[in-house]
Every structure is written in structure tokens, then in C-alpha cells.
Amino acid sequence: MLCYCNSSKDFSACCQPLLAGHKPASCAEALMRSRYSAYVTNAYSYILQTYSIQGRGSLTEAAVAADGKNTTWIRLQIVSIPSDSQVEFKAWYAHNRHLFLMHETSSFIIENGEWKYHAGIIHADTGTYKPRRNEQCICGSGKKYKQCCLSQYK
């Protein structure tokens, strides 16, 4: 099975070992990808564990899980890697049958020898997502949106 993070690698060779705690992320991009896969698979404890201490603040696993309720993550696209500690990405998701785009430049730090998510800058195009006429589906199938996922998220 291909990894949820859209790396074209098998899940068992990509994000699964990180989510299972078998190895730490080797770089900021690997952590970003694994956190996306954690959201897809509802691995909320992993998400919480991969926040920096300052970034986590008083956030709890229950709060992360509540945010994930009724959310279906559809696709991750790495836009750029501005530095070894930043990753710009776009993630499409559906919440209560409405489509959204999260476009963020995330910052990561090394804390106790491991990469951790620290903070993010949200880009202006984040929010409700409305596909344009004849646009390819956001799921990456190559089909037009109206012939693919439209019925699921409308």
C-alpha cells in the first residue's frame, strides 16, 4: 500500500515506522510527511508527541482528536523546502462534506535529538476549497473532479 503522504513509497517503508515509534524522523520533511499520515490514520498521540514543547503548549490528545473528528484527509503536496527546518505544503481535506485546503509553511526544530513541529505560517489561500470547472480531482486520480470525488464531498 502506498504511503498516505504521497511520497510514492510503500507505507511500511515510509511513515509507518515513524508512527509506530520504531525510528525518529530523519529530517523536517520526513516529520511533516509522517504527521500528515498520522492525521489520516488518527494517530493523535503521535501528532501530540511530535510537537515541540513550546509549540504544544497546553494542547491535549483529546483536543487533537476532537479537531480530527469528521475530517477526511485527501492529499498532501509538498510545495517547497525553503530550508532544512521548513516545509511548505498543501493538504486537502473534507470536513462535514465540505472541501478545504490547508496551505502552510511549517517550521521544525530539533529537541532532545529529534525533529519536532514548532510553528506554522498559514498562507492566504487556506480555507474553503472550490474546484474550478474541469479541474483534475484533488485526490490525484487524474480524473476530473466532477467525475471522481464530487459526490463524496458535495
Query: Nine-digit cell at 121?
Result: 505560517
The answer to whether position 6 is within a domain reads: no
State pLDDT tens for residues 29-69. 999 999 999 999 999 999 999 999 999 999 999 999 998 88
Statement: residue 150 has pLDDT above 70: no
**What local confidence, expressed as pLDDT, does residue 98 receive?**
86
Domain count for the chain, please give it: 1
In a domain, 146, yes or no: yes
The DSSP 8-state label assigned to residue 33 in this structure reads H
Give residue 151's pLDDT.
67
User: Which CATH number goes with the domain that contains 84?
Assistant: 3.10.450.50
| CA dist 44 → 35, 62, 127, 141, 154 (Å) | 9, 8, 22, 27, 27
Handedness of CA 22, 25, 31, 33 (dihedral sign): negative
**Domain boundaries, position 89:** 11-153
Query: Does residue 88 lie within any of the structural domains?
Result: yes
pLDDT digits (tens, 9 = 90+) for 116-131: 999 999 999 999 998 8
